[in-house]
Each structure stands twice: as C-alpha cells, then as structure tokens.
C-alpha cells in the first residue's frame, strides 16, 4: 500500500514543480513583453524625431510657425496629384518587396 502513496506524493511533487516553473515562465513572459514595448516605443520616438527633423529642414523659420500652420502646409502639400501618386507608388513598392519570397531561402 505504500507504493500508491509514494506514487501520489511523487506526482503531487512533480505538479508543484511544474506549477512553479509555469509561474516563473509567466513572469519571464511579462518581463519580455515590457522590454518589447519599451523597444517599440524607443523605435517610434526615434522615427518621429528623425522625420520631424527632415520636415523642419524644408521649413523657413520653423520655430515661428504654429502647429496648425505646419499642418495646413502638409495638407496642401499632400493633396498635390504628383505627391499623391509618388506616395502611392512608394507604398506599393514597399508592399511588393515585402511579398517577394527570398530566392536564397
């Protein structure tokens, strides 16, 4: 009769170990998710700053313009047919490149 009790104790012990490992892995997953979120945020901030700098390089006295004035200028610029076409082509090209399978892979 001691054999079933020993087997039951062993299984309970294994279950406790597995539950502890699960908690540990869940904690590690949360840490990794936070790290990914932080990296995504940093990447976005870098992209925004870079592109804002690009925009400012085309503006005369950018510090003197209001946000509304810059937005109006962008709206006017992006309504131009050649800009609309150029943007559509760029987006299309990006999608085409991302859909092409790697011939070496």
How does pLDDT run across 27-81, given as a tens digit for each residue? Answer: 999 999 999 999 999 999 999 999 999 999 999 999 999 999 999 999 999 999 9
| Residue 99: pLDDT over 80 | yes
Predicted confidence at residue 43, as pLDDT, reads: 97
Distance CA 32, CA 29 (A): 5
Are 70 and 59 in contact by the 8 Å Cβ rule? The answer is: yes
**Complete DSSP assignment for 67-105:** HHHHHHHHHHHHTSHHHHHHHHHHHHHHHHHHHSPPTT-
| Residue 1: pLDDT over 70 | no
Burial 30-44 (b: 16+ CB within 10 A, else e): eeeeeeeeeeeeeee
| Residue 11: pLDDT over 60 | yes
If one counts every other C-beta atom within 10 angstroms of the C-beta of residue 24, the result is 10
pTM of the full structure: 0.65
Predicted confidence at residue 4, as pLDDT, reads: 86
């Amino acid at each position: 009769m001691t054999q079933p009790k020993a087997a039951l104790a062993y299984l309970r012990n294994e279950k406790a170990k597995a539950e502890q490992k699960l908690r540990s892995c869940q904690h590690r997953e949360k840490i990794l998710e936070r790290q990914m979120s932080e990296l995504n945020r940093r990447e976005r901030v870098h992209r925004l700053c870079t592109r804002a700098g690009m925009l400012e390089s085309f503006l005369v006295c950018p510090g003197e313009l209001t946000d509304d004035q810059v937005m109006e200028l962008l709206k006017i610029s992006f309504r131009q047919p050649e800009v609309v076409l150029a943007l559509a082509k760029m987006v299309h090209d990006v999608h085409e490149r991302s859909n092409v399978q790697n011939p070496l892979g």
